[in-house]
Chain A
Amino acid sequence: MVDFNRKVFRDIDWLLLLTPVALTLLGCVGIHSTAPGSEMKKQLIALGIGLVFAIVLMLNDYRKIIVNVAPFFYAAVMVMLILVLFFGKEINGNKAWLHIAGFSLQPSEFAKAATILMLARHMAQPRVGSLSLKDMIIMGAIAMPPVILIALEHDTGTMLTFGAILGSFYFLGGLRKILVAVALAGLVAGLFVVYPHLRGYQKERIDVIIHPEKADPKGYAYQTIQSVIAVGSGGVLGKGVGQSTQGKLGFLPFAWTDFIAAVIAEELGFAGILLMMVLYLIFIWRLVAIAEGARDRAGALMIMGFVALIGFHILCNLGMVVGVMPIMGIPLPLMSSGGTAVISMFIGVGLALSVRLRRFVN
């Protein structure tokens, strides 16, 4: 543990610490307009807890965390994922919430962070040459338990997130270029092979995107249509904070969780969306810069795991909000209402700050 002296204080990457805070607060604007009761308060409490986590993690050596804490964290999350199958609370068809002492936790959010840490732990040693088959299998084995447990919750979106994280680790770990090409081709082909075997509702959600005009506006297309209307009706400057009709009057279901960006688009307009995107880009840019300057491979990979997680979530979530991606229940990082996800993100921020503070080989 380093002393929290003036040198450390100066060395903190303030931009990295403050952009996620700004994004969370921006999300709160939309939550305040649309969510019932105490959702915004919960989000702010989660932000506070997240900041405490971030600072504690920052002050600790990430290498020790990866080596000593990560396995316990991973094991604890797996236990929670099993518990959620038996005692979980079902919200919107996904049985993903665990009630512990008045708090509701979403273990699958922690599982993402835990998996990133475990994958980085495995990849700690710098290696020569391309990624070996053995490494790929071990990494796959690390990601598999949470994927299976989450599959049992029917949470397709979260499952795909693990694919994105694992994929980014393979890619950065030195997967041979030819295999990268094969994997991309395989991904595209896989979509066509998997499509006919999807569950009815999954298929319909994709059909809505491919043939929006054929979809039943009262059925699965409803959310997509309402979201696009919300975004489009926002215009350049938006309808004003608290003035959304789509969000506030309930045409957009669960506006404060998965469709928070639609509320921002409706209330703050294209300007608000640009602000949001710029904040995200600064956030990601800082993370990539720290990864680049990291003293070791484990730190860099760990941060890039979070970058992949954030990038994938933004792609899927905003894609869904503007009607070009199917609805998968993937929240917008930091902005969607959901305490566990916010805390999980700040764990990543704290670890990145820790990497930053220890970037010079001593």
Chain B
Amino acid sequence: MSSKKNQHREETQNFGLRLHAIQYLILAIFVALGIRFYFLQVSQHDTYVARAENNRIREIPILAARGLILDRSGQTVLVDNTPAFNIVIYPEDITDKAETIRMLVENLGVDRAELTARLNDPYRPKSQPILVKQNASDADRQYVSARELEHPEIKVETQPQRLYKYGKTAAHVLGYIGEISQKQLEMEKYQNAGYKSGDIIGQGGIEAVYDKILRGVDGMRRVIVDSKGRPIAELERIEPIRGQDIITTIDLDIQRVAEDQFEQKHATGAAIAMDPRNGEILAMVSVPSFDPNVFARNVISSDNRKELRAIINDPTHPLYNKALQGTYPTGSTWKIMMATAALEEGTITPTNSKIICGGGLSVGNRFLHDSGGNHGMPDIHAAIVHSCDGYFYRLGLRLGVDKIHEWVDRFGMGKKTGIDLPTETRGTIPSREWKRRVNPRDPVWKDFDTAICAIGQGSVAVPPMQLLHAEAGIVMGGEYHTPHIFKEAKATQAVEAKYYDDQPTELKLSKVTTDIVTAAMWGVVNEGGTAGRIPFPKELNVGGKTGTAQVIAKEKVRGKEHKDHSWFIGFAPMKGDKPEIGVVCITENGGWGASASAPTVNYIISAYYSKKLNRQLLPDLDMVAVHNRDANPALAAAMTPQVKDADRRRAPVRQ
């Protein structure tokens, strides 16, 4: 059967054909794959070389040690760096995000919301480690090292931690550090400074103002890593440049005496001690205070979040620096400026300055009392010594609101002093224009307004720093120095030392005027004036002025929280030489000026001279004991428990 034979042959030929079909199909596949290999290996070689390098070469930042902050002696370290075991995560090495988050939240107590926010932050470089826990316990470290293989992204590192050695002491001056916020990153000021997401920067006080000096320049290691992110070899190393240490004008001993005063009285308020000859701030207190270490930990653990929230939500606002941000009526301390203005304007003269007191003054349909009774017909000296309101009501009316405003403006009232701390406020100094603006229902300035303004009540509201600055200039004969905390930035290998550049300004005041005012202030303390019963050491020739800032409250409320604020501003010496220390103190709800604040000022000034003269001036003020008092021992112990000597040497602290 030929057909069958044919079919057989056909099928046989067909087999050979199909065999070759498979052969050439494979060849075609090889050619296609070959083209693809050529495309990747030859045409796009450069791109993939770069990507392979990117894979294996990583830049690991070496954090620069932040400069220390010292007190004015240059010996006492106020803010230190201490090595701490920190747990960090490297986002680049995370393989299972959900699992990593779960581990950190459940076993290491990290705050889930904070961690997720950081991990998902699109602006944060992926190569930048995220600090999740500081001062990790032994258990935490063991937990992490036991999971090193499965979770190479979680590491324990020894990093410097900011340590505010004296806790709450001078917290408002020193400030604190923290991670730069998203809001800050969007601000031009921070962008220009070259900050990047995840940077730890100064967030308050001089930590913030002098961040650039303190932070130094981070170094970098270029290393080859394996796929688990473990460094295998180092290619390049750029050493960090450590930040400059800053010597402040703060005198820790005086600062502590001032803070002790508030503590002993269980009082709140503010006090500032300044050298009027150059504007150096010796002490600045704001009570209540806070512990900057809580911020420095900058940890996203749930516990730390709670601590932070507690400070931020505290109804007594511990973060608030009352010395710069708190605004209070100046009360009678204002009279120094009134007297100076009136003498300069010729409203009164050195020989003819007597004005009737009358126990007060009728203005319109109201009678303004003199809180000290009837002083007869005092001259300017007696009016200041006894703080005669009746005298100053009348003097104010003679000067007129426009002249008052013009003069206090010259003294710097209602303006920032320019101190090198953030968050200084201007306060309020009333004027015709001001009343028009804020009080549209009663826009016209009246004599009544002038009279209460003349004794520093009513709408006058200024921060204590402003008052001290203004009156320090007067007792210095018109020589004004900008108050400041920065004294010197110490030189490092890389950077030269920087010093504060004092640029005084001069307000023309006649010597006769300032002599009269100074003598009157001396009289307040030394001639049985309003502060006559306060035991200021006679030899110091302290002069000053009391003040009572009225707290406006509904009638018949007599609680402590509605007592008036007590002011005292004092300088020494006020006889002979120019004053070398000026102190202002406001004790909130402290009552009458001399009762709460004058003793505090006495202790601060005495502390200054005790140190200077090297002997005890007040029976219960032992400066040697104050000086030798330890840094917060509980704090220091809590910070460095597990760090062994070897680790301490490794950490970039105090190079």
* A168 contact set on B, CB distance < 8 A: 22
Kindly state the separation between the CA atoms of A246 and B51 in the bound complex, as whole angstroms. Answer: 10
Does residue B55 face the partner (Cβ distance < 8 Å to A)?
yes
Does residue B648 face the partner (Cβ distance < 8 Å to A)?
no
In this complex, which of B25, B48, B53 has the most chain A Cβ atoms within 10 angstroms of its Cβ?
B48
Interface string of A272-294 (1 = CB under 8 A from B): 01100100110011001001100
Does residue A218 face the partner (Cβ distance < 8 Å to B)?
yes
Going nearest first, the 8 A-B pairs with the smallest beta carbon separation are: A232-B48, A233-B52, A250-B227, A311-B26, A270-B41, A249-B226, A232-B40, A233-B48
* A253 contact set on B, CB distance < 8 A: 227
Does residue B94 face the partner (Cβ distance < 8 Å to A)?
yes
Interface string of A127-140 (1 = CB under 8 A from B): 11100000000000
Whether B7 and A128, one on each chain, are in contact in the complex, defined by CB atoms closer than 8 angstroms, is yes
Whether A277 and B19, one on each chain, are in contact in the complex, defined by CB atoms closer than 8 angstroms, is no
Does residue B224 face the partner (Cβ distance < 8 Å to A)?
yes
B28-36, B379-387, B570-578 - interface stretch: B28-36
* B4 contact set on A, CB distance < 8 A: 128
Residue of A nearest to B33 (CB): A318
Whether A236 and B18, one on each chain, are in contact in the complex, defined by CB atoms closer than 8 angstroms, is no
Kindly state the separation between the CA atoms of A307 and B25 in the bound complex, as whole angstroms. Answer: 11
Residue of A nearest to B93 (CB): A218
Question: If the complex has contacts A128-B4, A249-B56, A307-B22, are A233 and B37 also in contact, measured as CB distance less than 8 A?
Answer: no
- Min Cβ gap B58→A in Å is 11
Whether A236 and B42, one on each chain, are in contact in the complex, defined by CB atoms closer than 8 angstroms, is yes
Kindly state the separation between the CA atoms of A347 and B363 in the bound complex, as whole angstroms. Answer: 120
- Min Cβ gap A303→B in Å is 10
A117-161 with Cβ < 8 A to chain B: 127-129
* A226 contact set on B, CB distance < 8 A: 55
- Min Cβ gap A181→B in Å is 13
Kindly state the separation between the CA atoms of A300 and B4 in the bound complex, as whole angstroms. Answer: 23
A167-202 with Cβ < 8 A to chain B: 168, 171-172, 174
Whether B52 and A292, one on each chain, are in contact in the complex, defined by CB atoms closer than 8 angstroms, is no
Kindly state the separation between the CA atoms of A39 and B187 in the bound complex, as whole angstroms. Answer: 57
- Min Cβ gap A120→B in Å is 14
Given A228-B48, A229-B48, A232-B52, 10 other A-B contacts at CB below 8 A? Answer: A128-B8, A171-B18, A232-B40, A236-B41, A250-B226, A251-B226, A277-B34, A297-B15, A311-B26, A315-B29
Does residue A94 face the partner (Cβ distance < 8 Å to B)?
no
Does residue A245 face the partner (Cβ distance < 8 Å to B)?
yes
Whether A218 and B36, one on each chain, are in contact in the complex, defined by CB atoms closer than 8 angstroms, is no
* B226 contact set on A, CB distance < 8 A: 249-251
In this complex, which of A127, A232, A245, A280 has the most chain B Cβ atoms within 10 angstroms of its Cβ?
A232
Interface string of B304-327 (1 = CB under 8 A from A): 000000000000000000000000
Whether A234 and B41, one on each chain, are in contact in the complex, defined by CB atoms closer than 8 angstroms, is yes
Does residue B228 face the partner (Cβ distance < 8 Å to A)?
yes
Whether A128 and B11, one on each chain, are in contact in the complex, defined by CB atoms closer than 8 angstroms, is yes
Does residue A240 face the partner (Cβ distance < 8 Å to B)?
no
* B26 contact set on A, CB distance < 8 A: 284, 307, 311, 314
Kindly state the separation between the CA atoms of A315 and B41 in the bound complex, as whole angstroms. Answer: 18
* B48 contact set on A, CB distance < 8 A: 228-229, 231-233
* B94 contact set on A, CB distance < 8 A: 218
Chain B interface residues toward A at CB < 8 A: 4, 7-8, 11, 14-16, 18-23, 25-27, 29-30, 33-34, 36-38, 40-42, 44-45, 47-49, 51-53, 55-56, 94-95, 224-228, 232
- Min Cβ gap A310→B in Å is 8
Checking B19, B55, B225 against A304 with a beta-carbon cut-off of 8 angstroms, the contacting residue is B19
* A233 contact set on B, CB distance < 8 A: 45, 48-49, 51-52
Give the total number of A-B pairs whose CB atoms are below 8 A apart: 134
Whether B11 and A232, one on each chain, are in contact in the complex, defined by CB atoms closer than 8 angstroms, is no
Whether A229 and B51, one on each chain, are in contact in the complex, defined by CB atoms closer than 8 angstroms, is yes
Kindly state the separation between the CA atoms of A250 and B225 in the bound complex, as whole angstroms. Answer: 10
Checking A127, A285, A304, A322 against B33 with a beta-carbon cut-off of 8 angstroms, the contacting residue is A322
* B227 contact set on A, CB distance < 8 A: 249-253
* B51 contact set on A, CB distance < 8 A: 229, 232-233
Whether A270 and B42, one on each chain, are in contact in the complex, defined by CB atoms closer than 8 angstroms, is yes
Residue of A nearest to B36 (CB): A322
Checking B16, B23, B37 against A284 with a beta-carbon cut-off of 8 angstroms, the contacting residue is B23
Residue of B nearest to A288 (CB): B23
28 A-B pairs with C-beta separation under 8 A = A171-B18, A172-B18, A174-B14, A229-B51, A231-B48, A232-B40, A232-B41, A236-B41, A245-B56, A246-B52, A249-B55, A249-B232, A251-B55, A265-B37, A265-B40, A265-B41, A270-B38, A277-B34, A280-B30, A281-B27, A288-B20, A304-B22, A307-B22, A311-B25, A311-B26, A322-B33, A322-B36, A322-B40
Number of interface residues of A (CB under 8 A): 50
Kindly state the separation between the CA atoms of A91 and B232 in the bound complex, as whole angstroms. Answer: 28
Whether A277 and B95, one on each chain, are in contact in the complex, defined by CB atoms closer than 8 angstroms, is no
Question: If the complex has contacts A300-B19, A314-B29, are A324 and B52 also in contact, measured as CB distance less than 8 A?
Answer: no
* B14 contact set on A, CB distance < 8 A: 174
- Min Cβ gap B90→A in Å is 13
- Min Cβ gap B14→A in Å is 7
- Min Cβ gap B21→A in Å is 8
Residue of A nearest to B26 (CB): A311
Kindly state the separation between the CA atoms of A314 and B15 in the bound complex, as whole angstroms. Answer: 24
Kindly state the separation between the CA atoms of A315 and B21 in the bound complex, as whole angstroms. Answer: 16
* B7 contact set on A, CB distance < 8 A: 128-129
Interface string of A212-256 (1 = CB under 8 A from B): 000000100000001011111111100000000110011111000
* A128 contact set on B, CB distance < 8 A: 4, 7-8, 11
* A111 contact set on B, CB distance < 8 A: none
Kindly state the separation between the CA atoms of A42 and B21 in the bound complex, as whole angstroms. Answer: 37
- Min Cβ gap A46→B in Å is 25
Kindly state the separation between the CA atoms of A228 and B42 in the bound complex, as whole angstroms. Answer: 13
Question: If the complex has contacts A245-B52, A277-B33, are A231 and B40 also in contact, measured as CB distance less than 8 A?
Answer: yes
* B18 contact set on A, CB distance < 8 A: 171-172
- Min Cβ gap B75→A in Å is 51
Residue of A nearest to B55 (CB): A251
Kindly state the separation between the CA atoms of A228 and B41 in the bound complex, as whole angstroms. Answer: 9
Kindly state the separation between the CA atoms of A231 and B36 in the bound complex, as whole angstroms. Answer: 10
Whether A171 and B228, one on each chain, are in contact in the complex, defined by CB atoms closer than 8 angstroms, is no
* A174 contact set on B, CB distance < 8 A: 11, 14-15
Kindly state the separation between the CA atoms of A318 and B33 in the bound complex, as whole angstroms. Answer: 7
* A116 contact set on B, CB distance < 8 A: none
* B30 contact set on A, CB distance < 8 A: 277, 280-281, 314
Whether A245 and B55, one on each chain, are in contact in the complex, defined by CB atoms closer than 8 angstroms, is yes
* B37 contact set on A, CB distance < 8 A: 231, 265, 270, 273, 318, 322
Whether A249 and B49, one on each chain, are in contact in the complex, defined by CB atoms closer than 8 angstroms, is no
- Min Cβ gap B39→A in Å is 8
* B45 contact set on A, CB distance < 8 A: 232-236
Whether A292 and B41, one on each chain, are in contact in the complex, defined by CB atoms closer than 8 angstroms, is no
Kindly state the separation between the CA atoms of A315 and B95 in the bound complex, as whole angstroms. Answer: 30
